[in-house]
Amino acid sequence: MTAPLFSWVQRKALENGKEDPARIRERWGVADRPRPKGPLVWLHAASIGETQSILPLVLALLDARKDVTVLITSTTRTSAALLADTLPPRALHQMAPYDTVKASRAFLKHWQPDVAIWIESELWPRMLREAGARAVPRLLLNARVSGRTARRWAQFPGSARVVLSSFDMINVQEKATFDALCAIGVSGSKVVLTGSLKKDRPPLACDEGELTRLRAAIGDRAVWCAASTHSGEEEIVLAAHQSHAGLLILAPRHPERAAAIADLSVSAGFITAQRSSGDTIVLDTKVYIADTMGELGLWYRLASVSFIGGSLVPARGHNPYEAAQLGSAILHGPDVANFAGIYDDLDQSGAAQTVRDATTLSEALNQSDAAHRNMAAAAKAVLTETSGATDAALKAILAHLD
């Protein structure tokens, strides 16, 4: 996109509350603080999932090199808010600059990164070119592409090859992405299949006192969670819940939709509580709207079964790692293109199950407790296979930092 188009995008984001008015200059490469002295490693991780996946790598890097500062950029307000609470000393956050020549040059002139790292699938052609012109090593870590992107690459292999060949190292998280890179001629020693950084992440944390309080409030009722749901999925989830005797914890992908979801739940006949309103869970609560950020660690620990949203509507799915790590059986819709590799592994291991509508979701929910425990155990087994992605990423960074 051109600079005028990015300006229009920013205006719309501000109108919709998706851009922080206090940080709009950062999107144009204008920093809010001076560059620290010494080596600086820049990592770009677009949103919440990517930023959380790199935190163990950031800690390992800071431990390995006491002279290094890490700069993390991201594009969403929610990721910025979470990072503000979790970044260790010697780690900074800025909003990512738009991919224009002027913004890229301003960003690089100020921060002068010694290594530039992109995470997963966001590729910025102008920034890549400008970083290359300054001889900054460029790494693509935890790389993955959807089937749709791979098909687009196959249609325009020359253009894709030019962009991707500009990276000095590409660490790939799954074989499908590795094969897609090879198919367009990007291969050799710079492309390494390492597995996913998300597999190496520790389980999501939670407030243990709050966990104890919620368990006491819930009692011995069965609990299931519908996590990261999108518009169009809540109706299916609530319809499936009609046949479930226990409590549904519904954690929408976008918490600002919570009031509308609560209305849907009440209209479906459920006694409904909303976390952001301070509602408590009582004996007749049937649906609990978990509309807060950073608390999935609570919900997955409470739920014996979790439906992972973004998969019954064309949103390409969300990651199942966190639920699997915390002992929840996994249900998902058919659209999981963003995480096809791990879902394939889970499905083939009997650790996850595909549902297509309210009927099949209800049937999956009402399987025996033993069946759900077996699924959860199988999911943990899939994730405990050592991937070594964090060690491989750290090794690549240190090699290009020296």
Our count of domains for the chain comes to: 2
Task: Tell me the per-residue pLDDT of 286-305, one tens digit each, with 9 for 90 and over.
Answer: 999 999 988 999 999 999 99
User: Is residue 202 situated within a structural domain?
Assistant: no
User: Is residue 201 situated within a structural domain?
Assistant: no
The Cα–Cα gap between 276 and 290 comes to 7
User: Is residue 203 situated within a structural domain?
Assistant: no
pLDDT at 386 over 60: no
CATH number of the CATH domain containing 251: 3.40.50.2000
Overall average pLDDT of the 233-259 stretch: 96
pLDDT for position 339 = 83
Banded model confidence at residue 233, pLDDT cuts 50, 70, 90: very high
Same domain, 273 and 340: yes
Overall average pLDDT of the 314-321 stretch: 91
Overall average pLDDT of the 115-134 stretch: 92
pLDDT for position 141 = 95
pLDDT at 164 over 80: yes
Catalytic residue, candidates 19, 50, 130, 174:
50
Q: Domain of 335?
A: 208-383
Same domain, 22 and 34: yes
The Cα–Cα gap between 341 and 361 comes to 22
Task: Tell me the per-residue pLDDT of 71-122, one tens digit each, with 9 for 90 and over.
Answer: 999 988 888 887 887 889 999 999 999 999 999 999 999 999 999 999 988 7
Banded model confidence at residue 5, pLDDT cuts 50, 70, 90: confident
What burial letters (b/e) apply to 334-362, b meaning 16+ CB within 10 Å? eebbbbbbbbebbeeeebbbebeebebbb
User: Is residue 345 situated within a structural domain?
Assistant: yes
pLDDT at 216 over 80: yes
User: Is residue 2 situated within a structural domain?
Assistant: no
pLDDT for position 278 = 94
Same domain, 192 and 231: no
pLDDT at 4 over 80: no
Same domain, 228 and 336: yes
Same domain, 272 and 242: yes
Same domain, 180 and 318: no
Banded model confidence at residue 176, pLDDT cuts 50, 70, 90: confident
Banded model confidence at residue 387, pLDDT cuts 50, 70, 90: low
Tokens representing 330?
């996994």
pLDDT for position 136 = 97
Overall average pLDDT of the 237-254 stretch: 97
Same domain, 320 and 181: no
Same domain, 235 and 343: yes
Same domain, 121 and 247: no
pLDDT for position 85 = 77
Same domain, 159 and 228: no
pLDDT for position 385 = 67
pLDDT at 347 over 90: yes
User: Is residue 1 situated within a structural domain?
Assistant: no
Tell me how far CA of residue 222 lies from CA of 207, 303, 306, 361, 365, in angstroms. 21, 8, 12, 16, 10
pLDDT for position 122 = 76
| Residue pair 270/256 in contact by the 8 Å Cβ criterion | no
Residue 261 CA to its chain's centroid (Å): 23
Same domain, 108 and 240: no
- Complete DSSP assignment for 199-236: HHSPPPP--HHHHHHHHHHHTT--EEEEEEE-TTTHHH
Overall average pLDDT of the 53-67 stretch: 92
**Within 13 Å and on the Cβ side, how many CA atoms surround 42?**
26
pLDDT at 323 over 90: yes
User: Is residue 182 situated within a structural domain?
Assistant: yes
Of 198-202, 211-215, 264-268, 306-310, where does mean pLDDT reach its minimum? 198-202
Same domain, 19 and 168: yes
User: Is residue 217 situated within a structural domain?
Assistant: yes
Task: Answer yes or no: 174 catalytic.
Answer: no
Of 14-18, 60-64, 313-317, where does mean pLDDT reach its minimum? 14-18
| Residue pair 178/191 in contact by the 8 Å Cβ criterion | yes
CATH number of the CATH domain containing 53: 3.40.50.11720
Q: Is the pTM here over 0.85, yes or no?
A: no
